[in-house]
Amino acid sequence: MDLIELKDINFEYEKGEPVLTDFSLTIEEGSCVVIRGDNGSGKSTLFRILNGLSFGGSGEYLFKGTKIDAEYLKDNSGAKRFHKAIGYLFQNPDTMLFNSSVYDEIAFGPRQMGLTDEEVDERVIDCLKLFDIESLKDKVPYHLSGGQKKMVAFAAVIALDPEVLVLDEPFAGLDQKKIDWLLGFLKELKAAGKTLIIATHRDDVNEGLADKTIELKIPASE
């Protein structure tokens, strides 16, 4: 079943610089798609579109058959369902971290979902253990190392239990031990039926996880 459909998406910045031109993509539920491309090829723009943070100037984005656009996301209940279904790990974790402690960072999403304090605490404790960051629970995220910030940001995404994980360079800033762990974890997520969309240049991800690899090209200058 096609979970995500992008049909002839066109996107350009205000200066008239094209980023995506007649771009189409289908992603099946439970699959892993790897996105590759040089800086400026449109990876981050594509991810913002997939997460409903940007919209193409033309074309259509369907998620589970529902058209996702600014009008649809104006509806609070629709927006809430959509953003719960798709978890987005930004390339730079500083973009995501704004709470006063690691615990509150991971708890933020579940609290927004209206879970009870007990349910929130259970999710946070599970994520702290899963990502081996229990010792960071009371730390201020801003003061952590780059690799630790990446783990906290990822834990905050996982705490929402999304159906789709959109991961922008998830291995950046990690040491080899964490990279190996993360590769194994992503395989477990896929085996559990999660849909993975990953921007990375790592060949081990292509070979061990990817069902499809998309190579984005920098648009040619006129």
Domain range summary for the chain, segments of one domain joined by +: 2-215
Contact 133, 125 (CB under 8 A): no
Residues 81, 181, 46, 55, Cα dihedral to 10°: 20
Cα 211 to Cα 34, 74, 106, 187, 188: the distances in Å are 8, 34, 30, 12, 15
Residue 49: pLDDT over 60:
yes
Per residue in 64-123, pLDDT (tens digit) is: 999 999 999 998 888 888 999 999 999 999 999 999 999 999 999 999 888 999 999 999
Q: What is the pLDDT of residue 183?
A: 94
Q: What is the pLDDT of residue 69?
A: 94
Residue 194: pLDDT over 70:
yes
User: CA-to-CA distance for 92 and 170, rounded, in angstroms?
Assistant: 9
Global pTM reads: 0.93
In CATH, the architecture of 2-215 is 3-Layer(aba) Sandwich (3.40)
Buried b (16+ CB within 10 A) or exposed e, 147-186: bbbbbbbbbbbbbbebbbbbbbbbbebbeeebbeebbebb
